């Protein structure tokens, strides 16, 4: 049995990860300040004696005897990470430093949840890990993009200077049950709008693309990366679904799958919104024997059912 710390454990991805790690017989400490996460995401785990939930901010050092750290704490949706950009930079950078410091003291292995945003508005398509990216370092998204880039830098420097075992994954747009309904991300927004027959808000002309990964595929990729015995494989490695869709296609698909009466309306494209995004997952296939198994329609079906139930029961 390993004792595993999951920062951001009450968030969308973190709560799925905690559940999976517990189901595999581990002890899990979930650390979260509940900025975008919610107790509802982990309430079902609270009866498990091997699960501990701690209200804590990763900007302060944390001490516990642990074997592994999954460092996920950071708001991930543009509206939330731009709400207080300074705090987002602190969370990414100081959070990574504090967790790497903890890894150094405890000799724990740390997996850093990085992002496809490190590629910015990419000039190379699909994105390969060797591409250095095209990020506007003073734009509205930079608090998140540069914070995450710096966190990768820190991981590599702690590894080189202190021999810390680090693993970096670059996560591409992920969706599924337990996303916050008002999170502002495109999949949750469109499903909530469609289920309530409200206007579907497509940014720009909807020709920008994203590649959507179902949560279960991501969790599998995270665990394979952490558990890989060859610790010399640090990454970064892309974890995403290469199926690429325009945002307009996504809107039409969700309207059709929900039998919605919603109309599509067009809203301004946010600053620096990447025009295209699709992971090259050759490295994940080769090193982790991993590839996604859930097609968009199948994952959307489960996600729609989740939000539908949320609306029926009024719970979140």
Residues acting as catalytic residues: 144
Span 200-219, contacts to ligand UDP by CB under 6 A: 201-203, 208, 210
Residue for token pair 């995004």: 277
Those residues whose C-beta lies under 8 Å from the C-beta of residue 103, and which sit 6 or more positions away, are 69, 109, 110, 158, 164, 165, 166
Binding map of ligand UDP across residues 249-278, x = CB under 6 A, - = no contact = ---------------------x--x-----
Burial group, residue 41, by CB count within 10 angstroms (0-12, 13-18, 19+) = buried
Q: Does 119 bind ligand NAD (CB under 6 A)?
A: no
Q: Does 129 bind ligand NAD (CB under 6 A)?
A: no
Interaction partner, residue 203 (ligand NAD, ligand UDP, none; CB < 5-8 Å by kind): ligand UDP
For the bound state, the minimum distance from the C-beta of residue 131 to ligand NAD, rounded and expressed in Å, comes to 16
3-state secondary structure of 7: strand
Element (H, E) at 244: strand 244-246
For the bound state, the minimum distance from the C-beta of residue 76 to ligand NAD, rounded and expressed in Å, comes to 4
Interaction partner, residue 58 (ligand NAD, ligand UDP, none; CB < 5-8 Å by kind): ligand NAD
Task: Assess contact for 148 and 95: CB atoms under 8 A.
Answer: no
Span 155-184, contacts to ligand NAD by CB under 6 A: 171, 173-174
Q: How far apart are CA 200 and CA 264, in angstroms?
A: 5
CA distances from 310 to 20, 95, 147, 276 (A): 22, 32, 33, 31
What does the block give as tokens for 172? 């591409």
Task: Assess contact for 225 and 167: CB atoms under 8 A.
Answer: yes
Span 176-195, contacts to ligand UDP by CB under 6 A: 185-186, 189
For the bound state, the minimum distance from the C-beta of residue 81 to ligand UDP, rounded and expressed in Å, comes to 9
Q: Does 59 bind ligand NAD (CB under 6 A)?
A: yes
Interaction partner, residue 189 (ligand UDP, ligand NAD, none; CB < 5-8 Å by kind): ligand UDP
For the chain, helix, strand, coil in percent to 5 are: 40, 20, 40
Binding site for ligand NAD (CB under 6 A): 7-8, 10-14, 32-37, 57-59, 72-76, 91, 95, 113, 115, 171, 173-174
Binding site for ligand UDP (CB under 6 A): 77-78, 173, 185-186, 189, 201-203, 208, 210, 247, 270, 273
């Amino acid at each position: 049995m390993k004792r595993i710390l999951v920062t951001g454990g009450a968030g969308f991805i973190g709560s799925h990860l905690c559940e999976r790690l517990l189901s595999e017989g581990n002890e899990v400490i979930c650390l979260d300040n509940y900025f975008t996460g919610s107790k509802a995401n982990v309430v079902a785990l609270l009866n498990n004696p091997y699960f501990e939930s701690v209200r804590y901010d990763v900007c302060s050092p944390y001490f516990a005897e642990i074997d592994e750290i999954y460092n996920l704490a950071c708001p991930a949706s543009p509206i939330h990470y731009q709400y207080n950009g300074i705090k987002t930079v602190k969370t990414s950078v100081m959070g990574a430093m504090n967790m790497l410091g903890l890894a150094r003291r405890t000799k724990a292995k740390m997996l850093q949840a990085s992002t496809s945003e490190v590629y910015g508005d990419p000039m190379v398509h699909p994105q390969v890990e060797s591409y250095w990216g095209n990020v506007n370092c003073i734009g509205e998204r930079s608090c998140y993009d540069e914070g995450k880039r710096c966190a990768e830098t820190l991981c590599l420097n702690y590894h080189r200077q202190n021999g810390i075992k680090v693993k970096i994954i670059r996560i591409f747009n992920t969706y599924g049950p337990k996303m916050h309904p008002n999170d502002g991300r495109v999949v949750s927004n469109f499903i909530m709008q469609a289920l309530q027959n409200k206007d579907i808000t497509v940014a720009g002309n909807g020709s920008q693309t994203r590649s959507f990964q179902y949560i279960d595929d991501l969790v599998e990729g995270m665990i394979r990366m952490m558990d890989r015995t060859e610790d010399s494989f640090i990454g970064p490695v892309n974890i995403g679904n290469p199926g690429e869709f325009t945002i307009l296609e996504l809107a039409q698909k969700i309207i059709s799958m929900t039998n919605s009466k919603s109309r599509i309306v067009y809203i301004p494209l946010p600053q620096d919104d990447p025009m295209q995004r699709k992971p090259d997952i050759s490295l994940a296939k080769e090193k982790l024997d991993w590839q996604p198994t859930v097609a968009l329609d199948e994952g959307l079906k489960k996600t729609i059912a989740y939000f539908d139930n949320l609306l029926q029961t009024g719970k979140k």
